[in-house]
A and B are shown apart, each in its own frame.
Chain A
Amino acid sequence: MRPIVLPGDLVATNPKVAGFGTYVENGKVYSKILGLLDKTETSVRIIPLKGRYIPSVGDVVIGIVREVSANGWNVDIYSPYQAFLPLSENPEFKPNKKPNEVLSIGDAIIAKVLNIDPKMKVTLTMKDKVCRSIRFGRIVFINPARVPRVIGKKGSMVKLLKSELGIQIIVGQNGLIWISGDRKKVSIGEEAIYVIEEEAHTDGLTDRITEFIKRRKSDVGIE
């Protein structure tokens, strides 16, 4: 069981082990956020329990187009920072089209964080096979701090959901998750995701999710 730590809790006395969620002052390592202490001989990190999504280069995110300009699209990615998708980073854009014929206000997209400048101006790209504009399926929102558990170790949890339910899932690091497939199965997937969010840091989660899906499938009457 991993103990809960608060900002200012002393978590190590060797600055070399300081990892995510910690800071060093006067040679001591303190937690800077509310989270679970993950401590080994060689590293100390805090697994956050709460907090807004802060973009990082390479993250897959799901966002909503808020503004269309001559150069591209302003996208809300549910973080303190609006993101910008330039025309040139959207493969669907062709010179004979107008930007709003490709994406207009309110459209949802899956994109990747291409760049963040020192002033936290976030640039997105859709030049990746995972990226697309979302025209069907469902988007659910969870606490961004719980995203790692929905993905699971090396993607194990997402794989489990996909194979057990035969649905498509793309998880945005910003807490937005896209699910697509048979309507009933999508609903079970959504419920399962909320269970994972709720019980994110408990042990034996994978087994319980497998159980949960089985039970819900028989409830709804699918094989």
Chain B
Amino acid sequence: MSESNEEKKDEIQLIFGDKRLDGRRFDELRNIKIEAGILKRADGSCYLEMGKNIVVAAVYGPREVHPRHLQNPSKAVIRYRYNMAPFSVEERKRPGPDRRSVEISKVSREALEAVIMKELFPRSGIDIFVEVLQADAGSRTACLNAASVALVDAGVPMKGMITSVAVAKADGVMVLDPMKEEDNYGEADIPFAFLIRGGKIESIALLQMDGRVTKDELREAFKLAKKGAMEIYKLQKEAIMKKYISESVENG
């Protein structure tokens, strides 16, 4: 979904029998790699690869908010910045926020705001910065997954974990976690984020869509997204455990 051209072309074949262009099954995620706590200066951080996406998230806070007038006397102010590096895409991206990243930052922030216990930290601020170092399809979902791990790593109180994944419609089939070609030439893109609590998917924290789908296809999309989200959740959890496991090991 590039800013310059969101028109879709359909001359590329995306589905081959029960396989996709990159050999995945319809309900299969791309390779995901997650590492928690990789930045020294940030209170919490995360490195994440999702297919060809490479993103790094950092969390600072709760900390003082400047300027003062931005403070909220009853809760922490949450800021979220989705930012694409100029070298992250085929054609160099002009640095700084464009309309697409402003919108992504807004809906991503709102998804996290719904689970961060911000009322525990009046007048303070929690800043979440996510840098897209390499972009493939679904960079907003990769960023949210990284941000969620970074928030946990920072010790920020939350209702649960946020896990995000997209579903696309490609050649009339609903497919999980679309890569670039499915996003560009597919008929629809539906990014989801869920609150996971008590080991289960509980509710929707982010939902967007563009394209063309029927109600039944949407039901199928929910099914796929929930399956994918549970798998990603396990990887998020593993990454955090890996960093902190020494804390709980008996050693005497």
Contact = CB atoms under 8 A, between A and B. Distances in A.
Interface string A100-134: 00000000000000000011100000000000000
B247 A80 contact: no
Contacts, number: 121
B133 interface: no
Interface residues of A, number: 40
Nearest to A118: B122
B152 interface: yes
B38 interface: no
B248 interface: yes
A51 B62 CA distance: 9
A73 interface: no
A107 to B, nearest CB: 20
Contacts of A48: 155
B159 A23 contact: yes
Contact of A33 (B157, B197, B199): B157
Contacts of A30: 159-160, 197-198
A71 B44 CA distance: 37
Contacts of A1: 248-250
Given A4-B247, A52-B62, A10 B252 contact: no
A10 B152 CA distance: 16
B152 A6 contact: yes
A52 B160 CA distance: 19
Contact of A34 (B125, B244, B249): B244
B158 interface: yes
Given A34-B155, A50-B154, A203 B251 contact: yes
A54 interface: yes
A2 B250 CA distance: 9
A51 B117 contact: no
Interface string B108-131: 000000010100111111000000
A49 B155 contact: yes
A9 interface: yes
Contact of B198 (A8, A23, A52, A207): A8
B199 A10 contact: yes
B24 interface: no
Given A30-B159, A52-B155, A204-B252, A36 B198 contact: no
B159 A145 contact: no
A54 B43 CA distance: 14
A58 interface: no
Interface stretch (A89-97, A159-167, A176-184, A194-202): A194-202
Contacts of B237: 6
A81 interface: yes
Interface string A49-67: 1111010000000000000
A99 to B, nearest CB: 22
A34 B123 contact: no
A204 B251 contact: yes
Contacts of B64: 80-82
A4 B248 contact: yes
Contacts of A203: 250-252
A18 B251 CA distance: 28
B198 A10 contact: yes
A7 interface: yes
* Residue of A33, A54, A205, A208 ringed by the most chain B CB atoms within 10 A: A33
Contacts of B73: 119
Contacts of A32: 117, 157-159
B193 interface: no
7 contacts: A1-B250, A6-B152, A54-B62, A80-B125, A120-B124, A199-B251, A202-B252
Interface of B: 43-44, 61-64, 73, 76, 115, 117, 120-125, 152-161, 195-199, 237, 240-241, 244-252
Interface of A: 1-4, 6-10, 21, 23, 25, 28, 30, 32-34, 36, 48-52, 54, 80-82, 118-120, 145, 199-205, 207-208
**8 closest pairs, A vs B, by CB?**
A204-B252, A8-B160, A51-B155, A50-B155, A80-B124, A203-B252, A202-B251, A7-B158
Given A8-B161, A8-B198, 9 more contacts: A1-B250, A4-B248, A6-B152, A8-B159, A9-B199, A30-B159, A120-B121, A202-B251, A205-B252
